[in-house]
Amino acid sequence: MKSAEQLDLEDALAPLRKSYDLPDDQCYLDGNSLGALSHAVKASIQEVVHREWGETLIGGWNSHGWLELPMRVGDKLGALLGASPGETLCCDNLSINLFKGLAAALELQAPRTKIVTEASHFPTDNYIAQGMAQLLGPERCEVVAVPQEDLGTTDLREVAVVSLAHVDFRTGACRDIAGITARAHDAGALVLWDLAHSAGVINPALKDNDVDMAVGCTYKFLNGGPGAPGFLYVAERLHTAANPLPGWMGHADLFAFESSYRPAPGIRRFLTGTQSVISMAAVEAALTVFEDVSIEALRAKSLALSDYFLTLLHEQPDTQELLCLTPREHSKRGSQISLRMPMGYPISQALIARGIIVDFREPDIVRFGFSPLYNTFAEVRAAVAELADILRTECYREARYQHRLTVT
């Protein structure tokens, strides 16, 4: 096997790391939770705050194109997702966008009332669906949470919309968008994909896969900043649906201040009220780094990083018997590796104390995220070495043997 140094030398994306401000004393493997700060974003925020807001004040809405930011940044996001122009908005947060998408799906699919989700879906997705059901009542909306293993066999013939995550936040498993979407469509159901953990590292090919709707956030692999705005994709053919949160920014003539709502044509109808200019501009700047690389190259590097991680785990006597929740098959793997281990929480803290920044999810999962724009093979090697060293210490020793032979 090649050394980490050799792999980094041969990595065509390696120069992109210089676009980011990363702490010298850390291996930051948590870009699946909060992405890193780029120099482009720093410069953009300074420009938007000092020059645009500070100097042009109210004039910025027109002179700096603030009014068009949700659509302009949306289209740049859409380009990474395989959407056509005019199908994606950068706005609100994922939860709000999901509510808009589910309401639109229920309207389009009436009299169907069922939302199918996964029982282990990211909580906010299920909470929003539950909130929708509570608001609309059982005659208008019913949430069916299916165990993951039953998804392939659940009867979808009376289902309005299937609401799933592209990449599972716990396990890092990547779902078959093409297959599940086709199966839903065959049964007359729509699909709404949550791309939070895949946007920027995997191309969901929304148009080619005929996806109806999608939502996501921009603060993970897209590096938009803590709590950066979400996005909403709605296929053009569905732009007839109503927005349940029709704020003035989605009106056909927003400065006419009409007393009744008339939706704007196209994707703009799904806007709510005024959006944060600074936050959207930060996302736009964060996306400039993606202009120098294809999403396919990012996906290839992401898989190479996680392959290398798994290989090193397997080579190390201290780590080779850990339980890996993430599928080994490339097509089924996102951009993180989730290891399940007793004492996962103290082990994750020990890793962080040694500068290997990972995160922990209940009940016993340690997540290692690989951001192909800035992570290196040397960082992967360091992470495995530190994990092995921790597992060699007496107090964590038993964690090694709890789950055997599962990194295959």
The residues carrying an active-site annotation are: 122, 194, 219-220, 367
The whole-angstrom separation of Cα 99 and Cα 103 is 6
Q: Specify the residue, 258 or 315, whose C-beta has the smaller distance to a second copy.
A: 258
In this structure, what token pair is assigned to residue 172?
């890092």
CB of residue 229 vs a second copy: minimum separation in angstroms? 7
162 phi/psi in degrees, rounded to 5: -105, 120
The dihedral sign for the CA sequence 155, 159, 165, 166: positive
Q: Which of 90, 87, 76, 85 is nearest to 288 (CA)?
A: 76
CB of residue 49 vs a second copy: minimum separation in angstroms? 6
Helix (H, G, I), strand (E, B) or coil at 251: strand
Q: How many CB atoms lie within 10 A of CB 266?
A: 15
Q: Specify the residue, 140 or 328, whose C-beta has the smaller distance to a second copy.
A: 140
The dihedral sign for the CA sequence 198, 199, 205, 206: positive
CB of residue 33 vs a second copy: minimum separation in angstroms? 5
Q: Which of 218, 238, 184, 204 is nearest to 90 (CA)?
A: 218
Q: Specify the residue, 9 or 353, whose C-beta has the smaller distance to a second copy.
A: 353
Q: Which of 227, 173, 162 is nearest to 202 (CA)?
A: 173
In this structure, what token pair is assigned to residue 85?
């122009």
CB of residue 337 vs a second copy: minimum separation in angstroms? 17
Which residues, at least 6 apart from 266, have a Cβ–Cβ distance to it below 8 Å?
Answer: 86, 236, 239
371, 32 contact by CB (below 8 A): yes
244, 99 contact by CB (below 8 A): yes
CB of residue 221 vs a second copy: minimum separation in angstroms? 13
Q: Specify the residue, 272 or 319, whose C-beta has the smaller distance to a second copy.
A: 272
CB of residue 14 vs a second copy: minimum separation in angstroms? 20
Which run of H or E residues covers position 232? strand 230-234
Q: Specify the residue, 282 or 339, whose C-beta has the smaller distance to a second copy.
A: 282
The whole-angstrom separation of Cα 402 and Cα 342 is 7
The whole-angstrom separation of Cα 67 and Cα 199 is 24
Q: Specify the residue, 120 or 406, whose C-beta has the smaller distance to a second copy.
A: 120
Measured in whole angstroms, how far is the alpha carbon of residue 340 from the centre of its chain? 22
Q: Specify the residue, 55 or 291, whose C-beta has the smaller distance to a second copy.
A: 55
The whole-angstrom separation of Cα 408 and Cα 405 is 7
CB of residue 276 vs a second copy: minimum separation in angstroms? 4
Helix (H, G, I), strand (E, B) or coil at 387: helix
